[in-house]
Amino acid sequence: HEGATVCALVGQGISHSLTPPMHEREAAAHGLHHSYLVLDVPPADAPTFDLGAVLDRAQAIGMRGLNVTHPFKQRVLDLLDELSPGAERLGAVNTVVFDDGRRIGHNTDWSGFARNFDLGFGDESPDPVSRSAVVQLGAGGAGAAVAYAMLTRGVGRFHIVDADPVRARALAESLRPLFVDTTVTAGGVDDADTLIARADGLVHATPIGMAAHPGMAVSAGTLRADLWVAEVVYRPVVTELIANARSVGARTLTGDGMAVHQAVDALHLFHGIEPDAARMTRHIRDL
Ligand code: NAD
């Protein structure tokens, strides 16, 4: 098709990703013929998967760009010509744009979370939340992007909790030099309840609450009306954490907002369009 563009998502366990239909429908609403493919790499093949060959081929056939997800967000760094400042500071890329023979890496996970936060809880919301003390649960791939995003929004004390405390501490150490005005600490789950009791907000970035991992990563007793909760899990949109937080009267931000805004930012980078986030939110809720 004349004017058709092709992009793809490359990662593991992504055959049911909602990103392709979100991209294709929103691009169509802008009059673009945008095909968005999925390259789901079997877990056994991931360690030896030749990501460089995929980038070469994608570029050679004129693809506009790629989204890259677990387990390739770090591995792709060495295959790029240039990084956006956020991707460079975070050390992770989820969007590669082919631009005149050059490969430019961006990270719309952090920018998508940050934009959603600004609109719902931050400086673009009618009533911005306090950020004197924030606790984040989860220091994995999503956790790293979300923690970076939170710190760009000005947090006084930021504590990272992970079931694997070594992982939590490594993330804290990587963020500390970038955000010298924030006290960044980290640890395991044991003292999480005590720290949450003193916090203004809770950011949840573990897989707990997904259909495959039901439940909550915090005890229900830690939730209270004056503790805001930002969720990263978006399938289901109303996780057990979100439902429990709402039931005690807490302000909540659901994970679909991050999913939508990472796609908004990627579509903007691929095509220069201004996607309609509200329309994409309605769409993702239908999927
Ligand atoms: P990951 O496996 O890289 O990291 C998860 C981390 O959570 C691990 O470090 C693990 O030790 C920790 N953890 C697990 N259970 C815990 C518990 N009970 N208490 C404390 N820590 C615990 O996974 P990820 O890629 O970071 O994804 C996490 C979640 O974020 C997934 O549900 C994913 O679907 C979601 N996600 C959402 C978006 C979005 O756009 N909304 C984007 C990316 C990921």
CA separation for the pair 223, 148 (Å, rounded): 24
Asked if the domains at 4-107+258-286 and 130-250 fall in one CATH topology, the answer is yes
* pLDDT at residue 287 in the model: 86
Kindly list the domain boundaries of the chain, sorted by start residue: 4-107+258-286, 130-250
Catalytic: which of 23, 64, 73, 283?
Answer: 73
Ligand 1 pocket test: which of 72, 162, 280, 287 has the largest number of ligand atoms within 8 Å of its C-beta? 162
CB 271 within 8 A of CB 34: yes
Nearest residue to 9 via CA among 80, 108, 144, 85: 108
- The span from the CA of 56 to the CA of 158, in Å, is 40
Rounded to whole angstroms, how far apart are CA atoms 168 and 184? 11
| Residue identifier of the C-alpha nearest atom 43 of ligand 1 | 142
205 lines ligand 1 (CB under 6 A): yes
Is the distance from the beta carbon of residue 255 to the nearest atom of ligand 1 less than 6 Å?
A: yes
Ligand 1 near 141 CB (within 6 A): yes
The residues, any chain, with a CB within 8 Å of residue 131's CB and separated by 6 or more, are 150, 153, 154, 155, 156, 200, 201
CA gap 229, 176 in Å, rounded: 23
Give strand pairing partners of 68. 10
* Tens place of pLDDT per residue across the chain (287 aa): 446 889 999 999 999 999 999 999 999 999 999 999 999 999 999 999 999 999 999 999 999 999 999 999 999 999 999 999 999 999 999 999 999 999 999 999 999 999 999 999 999 999 999 999 999 999 999 999 999 999 999 999 999 999 999 999 999 999 999 999 999 999 999 999 999 999 999 999 999 999 899 999 999 999 999 999 999 999 999 999 999 999 999 999 999 999 999 999 999 999 999 999 999 999 998 88
Measure the CA dihedral 211/215/217/219, to 10°: 160
Distance 31 CA to ligand 1 centre (A): 35
Nearest residue to 105 (alpha-carbon basis) of 77, 135, 133: 77
**pLDDT given for residue 87 in this prediction:** 97
The confidence score (pLDDT) of residue 3 equals 67
The answer for residues whose C-beta is within 8 angstroms of residue 274's C-beta and 6 or more apart is 268
| 39 ligand 1 Cβ < 6 A | no
Between the CA of 10 and the centroid of ligand 1 the distance, in Å, is 19
Those residues whose C-beta lies under 8 Å from the C-beta of residue 195, and which sit 6 or more positions away, are 133, 135, 159, 161
Q: Structurally, what CATH architecture does the domain formed by 130-250 represent?
A: 3-Layer(aba) Sandwich (3.40)
Distance CA 159, CA 4 (A): 46
96 lines ligand 1 (CB under 6 A): no
CA of 236 to the centre of ligand 1 (A): 14
ipTM of the complex: 0.99
State the fold for domain 4-107+258-286: Rossmann fold (3.40.50)
Q: Is 73 a catalytic residue?
A: yes
Q: Is the CB of 232 under 6 A from ligand 1?
A: yes
Question: To test the ligand 1 pocket, which listed residue (117, 232, 254) has its Cβ within 8 A of the most ligand atoms?
Answer: 232
Q: Which residue has the tokens 């931000």?
A: 253
* Number of C-beta neighbours around residue 102 at 10 A: 11
- For residue 2, the model assigns a pLDDT of 47
